[in-house]
Structure 1
């Protein structure tokens, strides 16, 4: 079974390990960063490509190497990649699986301090209009900082990012003080989030609804304990994505794979 895997997430590493342990398979994993590719290699991927791929190149690679299936395990907020992968699978008539982590169960969590928005632009405007005092913790990745900083002073802004060259360069271009950059090493615990809120005297936290694997529960609980507002960006919807193509755990992935092969 030859698999073309769109990766770069913790989910994708779990998928690689699971498939290599349970199937006779060859996996090519594509990620947008060298860091993501290194993790994929460590997870057991047979081959990796560490750069964004245009649609035409993905199609050519699949054609030239006779891949049997396309699995999209990119981040829930990488909507443009998912949209592209859906169209590729349709055009090539190749089996397709979208692995999408479940949304967070907030039933037992105090959500009274959460403000829901649909984009980072909306988040920036909301902070400008309603939270014009205190520092802002940005727990939503380097690629989303510019939309916030259109409305929020960089002096108040503290992003938690991977300390890789591309992310550091984005901070430099946006004028983020190096002392404001918080190095990211996986999802933070409740205690670590509380420490960050206290250390940087934060009044607002920005996060994506990225699921429990992204540590969103620990962020919300820490913010609640410290009376910090949470601006939560909701997941984008992919109009062309068929719900029957979505799996959310490894058991569902197995069922889907066995239905194809």
Structure 2
């Protein structure tokens, strides 16, 4: 019988990991999606959608479903889920690892301005390209700047008074990002340090156009094990899941 593993997902890394584990001889992966996106990209294998109800709800779910290990491949800014998963697995003495892609690092020509929270705008710019996600748009509701917000689903109020919404899903090519910035006469990019290649083209485009970029730092992780690739996650899993020898 294969060991059940909870894969906290919602990222490209999580989908690739789910595909890698779909036919694993020792592991049955169950992907969990938060349900915040109306039509999420569905991973391979078994899937559950929705929250757990905090740490206590997650504890109950892990016990009921006889989970043997948890891989947290949520977004780097899904800090509430990560804290809950770290607390629940510690209480149950379950193996737990965070699969998190490396963050972005500035390059020559970048004009980056780091902030600790969404909503801080320490540099001027009247036409802002906002790529922090639809749930963070409320942090800019009081601003009198003009915003172009790109997200998968429409944002909910409160919202900035001067707002244009672009519904789209990555990846985005550099040429497309350059054209978008020029078309809307963007003079400031605001984003989170999500890392990865899927949405990194906007940073290249901003560099080429000499635009300032406000970047929100990642929240600090709990004291947990961390891997950076799907291959490392599979190797970790095979190390913590006993080999039954086919029995």
TM-score range for the pair, normalised by the shorter chain length: 0.7 to 0.9
Q: Which residue of 1 aligns with 2:132?
A: 140
Q: Is structure 2 residue 114 aligned with structure 1 residue 116?
A: yes
Equivalent residue, structure 2, for 1:67? 67
What is the rounded CA distance, in whole Å, between the counterparts of 2:183 and 2:37 in structure 1? 28
Residue matched to 1:102: 102
Give yes or no for contact 2:73–2:99 (8 Å, CA) kept in 1. Answer: yes
Could you list the per-position Cα deviations for residues 220-250 of structure 1 after superposition, in whole angstroms to 9, with x for gaps in the alignment? 2101222221111111112x323xx111112
User: Any residues of structure 2 matched to 1:26-105 within 5 Å, and which?
Assistant: 26-33=28-35, 35=37, 38-40=40-42, 43-51=43-51, 53-105=53-105
Q: Note the aligned Cα RMSD (angstroms).
A: 2.2
Q: Cα deviations across residues 103-161 of structure 1 (Å, max 9, x unaligned)?
A: 2354xx3353111112113x23x1xxx31x421000110121122333x22x6011101
Gapped runs of 5+ residues in structure 1? Answer: none
**What is the TM-score of this pair, normalised by structure 1?**
0.83
Contact 1:102–1:248 at 8 Å: present in 2 too?
A: yes
Aligned-residue offset at 1:212: 2.1
- Cα distance between partner residues in 2 of 1:18 and 1:253: 10
Q: 1:177 to 1:148 in 2, by over 3 A?
A: closer
Structure 1 residue 25 corresponds to structure 2 residue 23: no
For residues 20 and 39 of structure 2, the distance between their equivalents in structure 1, rounded to whole angstroms, comes to 17
TM-score by length of 2: 0.87
Distance 1:105 1:135 in 2: 24
Contact 1:4–1:70 (8 Å) recurs in 2: yes
Aligned residue in 1 for 2:152? 162
Change beyond 3 A, Cα 1:200–1:181: same
Residue-by-residue CA offset, 1:32-74 (whole Å, 9 max, x unaligned) = 226477523xx21313123464222111111111011111111
Which structure 2 segments of 5+ residues have no match?
242-247
1:232 and 1:111 mapped to 2: Cα distance? 15
Report if aligned partners of 2:103, 2:195 keep a CA contact under 8 Å in 1.
yes
SS where residue 196 of structure 1 aligns? Answer: helix
Q: Provide the C-alpha distance between the structure 1 equivalents of 2:112 and 2:171, rounded to a whole number of angstroms.
A: 19
Indicate the SS of the match to 1:101: coil
* Count of residues paired in the alignment: 239
By how many angstroms is 1:253 displaced? 1.2
SS of the residue corresponding to residue 84 of structure 2 reads helix
Match of 1:251 in 2: 231
